[in-house]
Each structure stands twice: as C-alpha cells, then as structure tokens.
C-alpha cells in the first residue's frame, strides 16, 4: 500500500493522539483488515494529493476504551446518492468505478467494525475526496 502511494507520488501521513492507553486487547487481524481495506481504497482512488490516517481516543472507561480511526484522501470522491449504498454487499458507487477499480470490501469492513462494537461512516464530495471513519470498543489490559 505504501509502495503504491509512492509510485503515485502521494503523501501519506499518520496522526496519533498522545493520550492512547498503553495496552488494549482485541483482534489485530480484524483491525488490520479494516485498515488495509480503507487505506488501500484511499490510495487506489486518489490520483494526486495524499492520504491521511488518524487515531484518537474518544472515551475511556474502567475496562474499555473507544477509539476513532479516520482515513481521509484527496481522491475522486463519492456523490451523495452513492454514499448510502457503499456498505451494502456487492455494491459500489457506480458500475464504471467497478470496471475501472474492481470490487470493494466495505461491507466486510462494516461487519468487522460492528463485531468490535463500533460503526463506520463516510463523508465525501465528488471530485473533492473522502473521509471514512470508524470507532471500535476495545478492552483495556494492565500488561502488554
């Protein structure tokens, strides 16, 4: 993914707030799959500009914490009518996008995020980029 961004001369930035807990418990495979899908799509649908990824702590209770991930790009964007359909199985913004870029794993990502106690959303404007955000609830642990 990073190599593809470099090939396209895209900037990639990561922003992490300093208030994150030191250790949490969860399913790293699920989290990686969601992040790889969203970041991969951001790189795929961005021709110029860049992709920013951020992680922040939303809330912290005694035994759990809520984290918000945001993936923002300067890509082709998604029209308002198509945004509501993106997370449905076998749906993409339009058929020409499917022919050009292939299928998407957004429905799978939504299912994985929901299994981690969260929700996923998109904010986008055609030809102005997109922001996908999701929150997950993870148990806090004392030891690494």
Q: What's the confidence (pLDDT) of residue 96? A: 52
Give me the residue spans of the domains in the chain.
12-139
Q: What is the pTM of this model?
A: 0.87
Q: What's the confidence (pLDDT) of residue 100? A: 43
Report the side by side order of strands in the sheet with 120-125.
Answer: 11-16, 50-60, 64-73, 129-139, 120-125
Q: What's the confidence (pLDDT) of residue 1? A: 81
Tens-level pLDDT at each residue, the chain (144 residues): 888 999 999 999 999 999 999 899 999 999 999 999 999 999 999 999 999 999 999 999 999 999 999 999 999 999 988 888 888 876 445 555 443 444 468 999 999 999 999 999 999 999 999 999 999 999 999 876
Output the six-digit token pair for 76.
């082709």
- CA trace torsion 81, 84, 87, 91 (10° rounding): -30
Q: Do residues 119 and 39 make contact, with C-beta atoms less than 8 angstroms apart?
A: no
Q: What's the confidence (pLDDT) of residue 129? A: 96
Beta-bridge mates of residue 54: 15, 70
For domain 12-139, which CATH number applies: 3.40.47.10, 3.30.565.10, 3.90.1720.10, 3.40.50.300?
3.30.565.10
């Amino acid at each position: 993914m990073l190599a593809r961004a470099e090939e396209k001369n895209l900037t990639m930035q990561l922003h992490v707030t300093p208030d994150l807990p030191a250790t949490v418990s969860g399913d790293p495979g699920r989290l990686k799959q969601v992040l790889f899908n969203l970041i991969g799509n951001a790189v795929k649908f961005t021709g110029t500009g860049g992709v920013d990824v951020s992680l922040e702590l939303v809330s912290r209770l005694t035994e759990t914490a809520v984290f918000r991930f945001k993936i923002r790009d300067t890509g082709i964007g998604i029209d308002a009518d198509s945004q509501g359909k993106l997370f449905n199985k076998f749906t993409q913004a339009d058929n020409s996008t499917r022919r050009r870029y292939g299928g998407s794993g957004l429905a799978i990502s939504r299912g994985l995020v929901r299994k981690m106690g969260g929700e996923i959303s998109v904010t986008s404007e055609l030809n102005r980029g997109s922001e996908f955000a999701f929150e997950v609830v993870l148990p806090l642990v004392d030891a690494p």
